[in-house]
Structure 1
Amino acid sequence: MSKQHFRTLLKRYQTDECTPQERRLVEQWFSMLDGEPSARTASENQQLEDKLWRAIQQRQGTVERPVRSLTAMHRWWLSAAAAVVVLGLSWFFYTTLNSNTETILADNGPSVSSPAGTLIRLNDTAEAMEITLNDGSRVTLAPRSSVEYPATFESSRREVTLHGEAFFEVTRNPQQPFFVNAGEVTTKVLGTSFRIETGQNNSSVQVSVLTGKVSVFQRDLPDEPLKDKIKNGVILTPNQRVVYSQASHSFETSLVEQPMVVAPERDSPAVKPEIFAFEDATMATVVGKLEKAYGIEIILENEELGNCLFTADITEQPLFTKLDLLCASLNATYEVRGTKILIMGSGCR
């Protein structure tokens, strides 16, 4: 790690631009040196920065010459020298964290339940990273994202904290529900698959459901312990998503961009792929099959539309293309309204 990178981390801490992991590390450094960075003069801060950098280089074996004597410095610096080895170890933890290895940190977060501490995985690569939790749940972590979780889920709840974006495949366990904290929002599931994306500085949080059902709700503060009583929220089913706005503290539900045929639960028996081939089938029949396959309510504005006939094989088409073809054959149109689809038209001609 370059000295410029090191200085950038300290500067980001002073301007409150650190990630939670970086902030925790820097505060650990200064707490061991018995003081806060803001309590020192600019000259003292510069001296401290130089000393920390020399300690890190010495710990990593990049400096062969011994550090010069500190006899001309104040007693504060003499006490700082005693912490050099510990500081080097702390930097070792930081560099390990940024090389995609599991790092055990102190139990400082409200979400940590494991006596062994919290495992933090940071994906600083350009590819997605798959992580398997001790309960068998899988997390596919997107680049520039991180997840914090206990080494072992030992309490009545399984709880993790996400920064960035990840896809979760949660092992079902009704006796130990699974919680994902992201900014001001918590997502609660029993066993399902879903995606969570957080905007910059947690300005927004988006949750999209692939299988199962999840509860998404707001906590009063992003770092407060999870309470059983929720403030407000929504229930999502497959092919639904919600976007939470931090500015307005509001939830907006809609359909995902590309709805998929609802997959069976992981432990359900395998089923044959859905076939959407119709010959003189009524609109009511076609719509009913689409509703069941995608788990999305489709409403016919005009009852006469339900009696119209449709003939085509639309198996390979995405849902919205299916609807385009269906409506084109009837001179009808459709709109997505929230988590429902409305088909409008005067009927058969």
Structure 2
Amino acid sequence: MKKPDYRDYSVDDLSRDDYFRSWVIDHNHQSELFWLNWLEQNPDCTDKVQLARAFLQALGEKDTSLPSSELDQIMTNILQSNPARVVPFWQRTAFQLAASLLLIIGIGYVAIAYLQRSDDSIGGLQADSTNLTNSDFVETVNTGAQLQTIRLQDNSQVQLYPKSKLRYPKQFDPNRREVYLKGRAFFSITKNPRKPFWVYTDQISTQVLGTSFLVTTTASNAKVEVHSGRVSVYRRNDVSREQQTSKSESAGMVLTPNQQVVFSNTDKRLVKSVVDRPINLLQTPEIEYIFDEAPITQVLKLLEKTYGLTFIYDEASLSECYLTANLTNESLFDKLNLICKITRSSYELVDGQIVIHSKGCDNK
């Protein structure tokens, strides 16, 4: 059945629409996916949808057993008793419309609480996907100058940075674990293959099973850096679209240790690269980084093993290249700069991998 053009609907029209009510009142999963996806495609209609949703939820708080016919009658009575309804919605402020509708039925406080939760909750309307109420969540804001440690119900640990906010349920859903972040936090997630862990921000969604990673969000971009394990990062609108279509093909980007992905609000795409400061994943004895006429290919294989990154190079062109140097206290990129200088090579970062370009070494 073809859906109507909801962009032309008023708050009144939305409140009467069966498919809209199916989402708000009956918590129908299919309807929920449709409306979340529709909002992502029509963000300018968010205020209108929130007001219609707040109105129906306010009625629901009053009496959740009201049949559709009675809801229709209540709506009709309210609108007929309110002469201001002839003023088009777009010519009035959201506050005035909400007040005129909700104060008449004496339960305006319910909608105000709901709207406040919608504005303040991290991740917007998608935060309601588990049908949990506001009282089921804990919201922590780090107002101090030091990292704040939060231990979740599943023993996962979050290091919340200053001026950052985390919203999470007191008890996780039986099938998945979901939290909502604004700002920056380092996550150490307890492994549970049957219960994926999701971190939602305004721009991206990150799915993990058990790993440690850093998530940073700003007004202009979002970034995920992996320290251990493996994560999948998605654009927020891709997640709801995949859930709606049930496709096996995923639009997520897989990250492994020392890789990162950045989402920019400007071009709306995910870009994978190597983290700024790769860490040692393997405790290598210092003596192994003291080289005396060592083949460069041997050096690069050691770097791969130590940092868990993929190096791409032509072994034939590097077959006559050797290194004599002490690289014990050098960072990965300092090591690479020295290697490339000695071997007259260069490197670039492509899709989270390190590509070495070399024309070979003339040792004659």
TM range (shorter): 0.5 to 0.7
Match of 2:184? 165
* Residues 244-255 of structure 1 aligned to structure 2 (within 5 Å): 244-255=263-274
Instruction: Give the fraction of aligned pairs with identical amino acids, expressed as a percent.
Output: 32
How many Å separate the matches in 1 of 2:162 and 2:305? 35
Summarize deviations over 1:192-221 as a string: whole Å, max 9, x none: 111111221xx4221111111111112328
Conserved 8 A contact 2:198-2:207: yes
- Measured at CA, do residues 142 and 273 of structure 1 come closer, stay the same or move farther in structure 2, by a change above 3 Å? farther
Summarize deviations over 1:3-45 as a string: whole Å, max 9, x none: xxxxxxxxxxxxx9xxxxxxx9xx99xx98x9xxx99x99x99
Q: Supply the RMSD in Å over aligned alpha carbons.
A: 4.5
How many Å separate the matches in 2 of 1:223 and 1:164? 22
1:346 aligns with 2:321: no
How many Å separate the matches in 1 of 2:326 and 2:168? 47
- The CA deviation at 1:302 is 6.2
Q: What SS class does the counterpart of residue 348 from structure 2 fall into?
A: strand
- Measured at CA, do residues 225 and 137 of structure 1 come closer, stay the same or move farther in structure 2, by a change above 3 Å? farther
Equivalent of 1:291, from 304, 312, 321? Answer: 304
Equivalent of 2:328, from 315, 318, 330? Answer: 315
- The CA deviation at 1:249 is 3.2
**What amino acid is the match of 2:322?**
L
**What amino acid is the match of 1:158?**
R
Equivalent of 2:343, from 310, 330, 348? Answer: 330
- Measured at CA, do residues 260 and 77 of structure 1 come closer, stay the same or move farther in structure 2, by a change above 3 Å? closer
Q: What SS class does the counterpart of residue 319 from structure 2 fall into?
A: helix
Match of 2:204? 185
Match of 1:279? 292
1:235 aligns with 2:254: yes
With the length of structure 1 as denominator, give the TM-score of the two structures.
0.63
- The CA deviation at 1:225 is 11
* Residues 46-85 of structure 1 aligned to structure 2 (within 5 Å): none
How many Å separate the matches in 2 of 1:342 and 1:174? 33
Ranges in structure 2 where 5+ consecutive residues have no aligned partner:
1-42, 44-49, 59-77, 79-88, 121-125
How many Å separate the matches in 2 of 1:238 and 1:124? 30
- The CA deviation at 1:181 is 1.1
Summarize deviations over 1:219-272 as a string: whole Å, max 9, x none: 328999966657622111111111123443321111111111126xxxxxxx66
How many Å separate the matches in 2 of 1:207 and 1:246? 15
How many Å separate the matches in 2 of 1:304 and 1:175? 47
**What amino acid is the match of 1:258?**
R
- Measured at CA, do residues 308 and 163 of structure 1 come closer, stay the same or move farther in structure 2, by a change above 3 Å? same
Conserved 8 A contact 1:185-1:218: yes
Conserved 8 A contact 1:123-1:143: yes
How many Å separate the matches in 1 of 2:278 and 2:351? 14
Match of 2:123? none
Match of 2:148? 129
- Measured at CA, do residues 277 and 83 of structure 1 come closer, stay the same or move farther in structure 2, by a change above 3 Å? same
How many Å separate the matches in 1 of 2:196 and 2:174? 10
Higher normalized helix content (fraction of residues)? 2
- The CA deviation at 1:128 is 2.0
- The CA deviation at 1:316 is 1.3
- Measured at CA, do residues 282 and 238 of structure 1 come closer, stay the same or move farther in structure 2, by a change above 3 Å? same
Conserved 8 A contact 2:321-2:360: no
- The CA deviation at 1:273 is 5.5
How many Å separate the matches in 1 of 2:306 and 2:133? 41
- The CA deviation at 1:160 is 1.0
Match of 1:216? 233
Q: What SS class does the counterpart of residue 158 from structure 2 fall into?
A: strand
- The CA deviation at 1:113 is 5.3
Match of 2:217? 198
Number of aligned residue pairs: give it: 280
Between stretches 132-141 and 121-130, larger displacement belongs to: 121-130
- The CA deviation at 1:117 is 0.5
Q: What SS class does the counterpart of residue 254 from structure 1 fall into?
A: strand
How many Å separate the matches in 2 of 1:224 and 1:148? 23
Ranges in structure 1 where 5+ consecutive residues have no aligned partner:
1-15, 17-23, 49-75, 98-106, 264-270
**What amino acid is the match of 1:284?**
T
- The CA deviation at 1:324 is 1.4
- The CA deviation at 1:77 is 9.5
Summarize deviations over 1:113-168 as a string: whole Å, max 9, x none: 58961111111223221111111111111222111111122411111111121111
Task: State the structure with bigger RCO (CA 8 A, min sep 6), 1 or 2.
Answer: 2
How many Å separate the matches in 1 of 2:193 and 2:242? 21
